[in-house]
Chains A and B, each alone.
Chain A
Amino acid sequence: MIFNIQRFSTHDGPGIRTIIFFKGCTLKCRWCENPESQSFDYELSYDRGKCIHCLECANISTNGEITLDNGKLRINRDLIDDPLRYRNICPTGALTVMGEDRSIEELIQEVKKDLPFFKKSYGGVTLSGGEPYAQPPFLFDLLAALKAININVSMETSLYADWKHIHKSINYVDTFLADLKHTDRAKFKAYTAGNLNRIIENFKNLEKENAPVIVRVPVIPHFNNTKEEMAHIIDFASSLKNVHEIHFLPFHALGMGKYGMVGKGYDFTEKFFRDDKELNDYVAMALKKGLKANIGG
Chain B
Amino acid sequence: MIAARIEEELSQRIRNLKEKHLQTRPTICMDRAKIYTAVYKNNEARPVIIKRAVALEETLKNMSIFIEEGELIVGNHSSKLRAAPIFPEYAVSWILKELDEFDKRPGDAFYLTEADKQELKEICFYWKGKTLLEKGYEMMPDLMREIHDSGIIRAEGNLTSGDAHIAVHFEKILKLGLNAYLYQVKAQRERLDLTDWQDLKKEQFYKAVEIVLKAVEAFIGRFENLSVIMSEVEKDPQRNKELLAINHNCKIISKDPPQNFYQALQLVYFVQLILQIESNGHSVSLGRMDQYLYSFYKHDIDNHRISDDFVMELLESTWLKLLSINKIRPWSHTRYSAGSPLYQNVTIGGQTLEGKDSVNDLSALILESVGRLRLTQPNLSVRYHRGMSEDFMMKCMKVIEKGFGMPAFNNDEIVIPSLVNLGIEEEDAYNYSAIGCIEIAVPGKWGYRCTGMSFLNFMRVFLAALNDGYDRGSGKTFCKGNGRFEEFASFEEVMEAWKKQVEFYTKATVMIDTAVDTVLEENVPDVLCSALVDDCILRGKTLKEGGAKYDFISGLQVGIANLGNSLAAINKLVFEEERITPAELMKVLANNYKDLEGEKIRQLLLNHVPKYGNDDDYVDLLLKEAYTVFIDELKKYHNTRFGRGPIGGTYYAGTSSISANVPSGAVVSATPDGRKAHKPLAEGSSPSSGTDRLGPTAVFKSVSKLPTHRILGGVLLNQKLSPSSIEQNRDKEKLISILRTFFDDLKGWHVQYNIVSCETLIEAKKNPENYGDLVVRVAGYSAFFTTLSPDTQDDIIDRTEHSL
Which single member of B599, B779, B789 contacts A256 (CB below 8 Å)? B789
> Does the CB pair A88–B695 fall under 8 Å?
no
Bound together, the chains give a CA A277 to CA B745 distance in angstroms of 41
B787 contacts which chain A residues (CB < 8 A)? 254
Across the interface, A54 reaches (CB within 8 A) one of B596, B731, B788, namely B596
Q: Does A119 contact B (CB under 8 A)?
A: yes
Neighbouring A residues of B741 by C-beta, 8 Å:
116-117, 119-121
1/0 per position for B595-621, CB-CB distance to A under 8 A? 010011101100110000001000000
A: number of interface residues (CB 8 Å): 39
Judging by beta carbons under 8 Å apart, are A297 and B780 in contact? Answer: yes
Q: Which B residues are in CB contact (< 8 Å) with A56?
A: 600
Q: Which residues of B contact A16 (CB under 8 A)?
A: 697, 734, 737-738
Q: Are B603 and A52 in contact (CB under 8 A)?
A: yes
Chain A residue with Cβ nearest B798: A274
What's the Cα separation between A279 and B779 when bound, in Å? 11
Query: A252–B792 contact, CB under 8 A?
Result: yes
- Bound: A221/B380 CA distance, A: 46
Q: Are A252 and B734 in contact, CB atoms less than 8 angstroms apart?
A: no
- Measured between beta carbons, the chain B residues less than 8 angstroms from A7 are 694-695, 697-698
Residue in B604, B744, B783 whose beta carbon sits within 8 Å of that of A254 in the complex: B783
Measured between C-beta atoms, what is the minimum distance from B692 to chain A in Å?
11
A16 to B601, CA, bound (A): 37
Tell me the complex Cα distance, A274–B780, Å. 12
Determine whether B795 belongs to the interface, using a CB cutoff of 8 Å to chain A. Answer: yes
CA distance A46 to B607 in the complex (A): 15
- Is B778 positioned at the interface, with any CB of A under 8 Å from its CB? yes
What separation, in Å, do the CA atoms of A252 and B787 have in the docked complex? 13
CB pair B697 A8 closer than 8 Å? yes
Tell whether, in the assembled complex, residue A253 and residue B789 are in contact, meaning their CB atoms are under 8 Å apart. yes
Within the assembled complex, what's the spacing in Å between the Cα atoms of A91 and B609? 11
Interface size class of B (residues with CB under 8 A): 35 or more
Kindly identify which residue among B604, B698, B746, B780 contacts A296, using a CB–CB cutoff of 8 Å. B780
Q: Are the C-beta atoms of B781 and A11 separated by less than 8 Å?
A: yes
A131 to B781 CA separation, bound complex (whole angstroms): 19
Question: Which A residues lie within 8 Å of B777 (CB)?
Answer: 296
Which residues in window 1-20 of A have CB below 8 A to B?
Answer: 6-11, 15-16
Question: Is there contact, CB below 8 Å, between B596 and A117?
Answer: no
Report whether B731 and A295 are in contact in the complex, using a CB–CB cutoff of 8 Å: no
Question: A residues 51-66 with Cβ under 8 Å of B?
Answer: 52-54, 56
Q: Within 8 Å CB of B746, what residues of A? A: 116
Question: How far in angstroms is the closest Cβ of chain B from A268?
Answer: 14
Contact B694 A8 (CB under 8 A): yes
Asked whether any CB of chain B lies closer than 8 Å to the CB of A81, the reply is no
Query: Smallest distance from the beta carbon of A50 to chain B beta carbons, Å?
Result: 9
B792 touches A11 (CB 8 A): no
Which one of B603, B694, B780, B795 has the greatest number of beta carbons of chain A within 10 Å?
A: B780
B307 interfacial contact with A, CB 8 Å: no
| Cβ of A101 under 8 Å from chain B | no
With CB as the reference atom, state the residue of chain B lying closest to A8. B695
Proximity string of chain A (265-278) to chain B, C-beta cutoff 8 Å, 1 when within and 0 when not? 00000001110100
From residue A79, how far is it (CB to closest CB) to chain B in Å?
A: 25
In this complex, what residue of A is CB-closest to B725? A10
Pair B615/A252 contact, Cβ less than 8 Å: no
Query: Hey, what's the 0/1 contact readout for B256-277 against A, CB within 8 Å counting as 1?
Result: 0000000000000000000000
B649 within 8 Å of A (CB atoms): no
Q: Is the CB of A273 within 8 A of B789?
A: no
Rounded to whole angstroms, the CA-CA distance of A177 and B698 in the bound complex is 25
Q: Does B295 contact A (CB under 8 A)?
A: no
- Min Cβ gap B394→A in Å is 15
**A229 in contact (CB, < 8 A):** no
Distance of A279 Cα from B600 Cα, bound (Å):
46
A273 & B734 in contact (Cβ 8 Å cutoff): no
Given contacts A56-B600, A93-B607, contact A11 B694 (CB under 8 A): no
User: For A119, what are the chain B residues with a Cβ–Cβ distance below 8 Å?
Assistant: 741, 745
Give min CB distance, A108 to chain B, whole Å: 15
**Across the interface, do A121 and B734 meet the contact criterion of CB distance under 8 Å?**
yes
Which residue of the partner chain, among B600, B601, B779, B789, contacts A276 with CB atoms under 8 Å? B779
Question: Are A121 and B782 within 8 A (Cβ)?
Answer: no
A92 within 8 A of B: yes
Q: Kindly state whether residue A130 has any CB partner on chain B within 8 Å.
A: no
In the complex formed, the residue of A with least CB distance to B596 is A54
Instruction: With both chains docked as a complex, state the minimum distance between the C-beta of B574 and any C-beta of chain A, in angstroms.
Output: 15
B604 touches A10 (CB 8 A): no
Selected from A11, A117, A250, A296, the residue in CB contact (under 8 A) with B697 is A117
Instruction: Establish whether residues A296 and B779, one from each chain, have CB atoms under 8 Å apart when the complex forms.
Output: yes
Q: Is the CB of A295 within 8 A of B780?
A: yes
Quick check: is A114 within 8 A (CB to CB) of the other chain?
yes
Residue in contact with B701 in the complex, picked from A93, A113, A273, CB distance below 8 Å? A113
A252 touches B608 (CB 8 A): no
Contact partners of B731 in chain A: CB under 8 A: 10
Which residue of chain A is the closest to B734 with respect to CB atoms? A10
Residue B469 at the A interface, CB < 8 A? no
Q: Which residues on the B side are within 8 Å of A253 (C-beta)?
A: 789, 792
0 or 1 for each of B768-804: is its CB under 8 Å from A? (1 = yes): 0000000001111111000111001001000000000
Q: Cα distance A273–B779 when bound, in Å?
A: 9
Q: Does B77 contact A (CB under 8 A)?
A: no
Residue A139 lies at the interface, judged by CB distance under 8 Å to chain B:
no
Decide yes or no whether B559 CB sits under 8 A from chain A. Answer: no
For A10, A279, A295, the residue with the greatest tally of chain B CB atoms inside 10 Å of its CB is A10
Q: Is A249 among interface residues, defined by CB-CB distance under 8 A?
A: yes
B615 & A113 in contact (Cβ 8 Å cutoff) = yes
Residues of A within 8 A of B795 (CB): 272, 274
B696 in the interface (beta carbon within 8 A):
yes
Q: Are the C-beta atoms of B789 and A117 separated by less than 8 Å?
A: no
Complexed CA–CA distance, A116 and B739 (Å): 11
Interface presence of A257 (CB below 8 A): yes
- CB of B675 closer than 8 Å to a CB of A: no
Cβ contact within 8 Å between B745 and A254: no
Tell me which residues across on chain A come within 8 A of B792, comparing CB atoms: 252-254, 272
A296 CB to closest chain B CB, in angstroms?
3
Decide: B596 and A8 in contact? CB cutoff 8 A: no
Distance A119 CA – B746 CA, assembled complex (angstroms): 13
Within 8 A of B (CB), among A247-297: 248-250, 252-254, 256-257, 272-274, 276, 279, 295-297
A274 to B659 alpha-carbon distance, docked (Å): 37
Closest to A91 in B: B603
Interface residue B398 (Cβ < 8 Å from any Cβ of A)? no
Q: Which chain B residues lie closer than 8 Å to A272 at the CB level?
A: 792, 795
* Complex CA–CA separation, A65 to B761 (angstroms): 38
Q: Closest 7 interchain pairs by CB?
A: A296-B780, A8-B695, A91-B603, A121-B737, A116-B745, A92-B603, A91-B604
26 A-B interface contacts by CB (under 8 A): A7-B694, A8-B694, A8-B695, A8-B697, A11-B780, A16-B697, A16-B734, A91-B600, A91-B603, A91-B608, A92-B607, A114-B697, A117-B737, A117-B738, A120-B741, A249-B780, A252-B778, A252-B779, A252-B780, A253-B792, A254-B781, A254-B787, A257-B789, A272-B795, A273-B779, A295-B779
Knowing that A119-B745, A120-B740, A296-B777 touch, tell me 14 more A-B residue pairs with CB under 8 angstroms: A7-B697, A8-B696, A9-B782, A11-B781, A52-B596, A53-B596, A91-B600, A113-B701, A114-B701, A116-B746, A117-B741, A120-B738, A252-B792, A274-B795
Contacts from A to B (Cβ < 8 Å): 6-11, 15-16, 52-54, 56, 88, 91-93, 113-114, 116-117, 119-121, 248-250, 252-254, 256-257, 272-274, 276, 279, 295-297
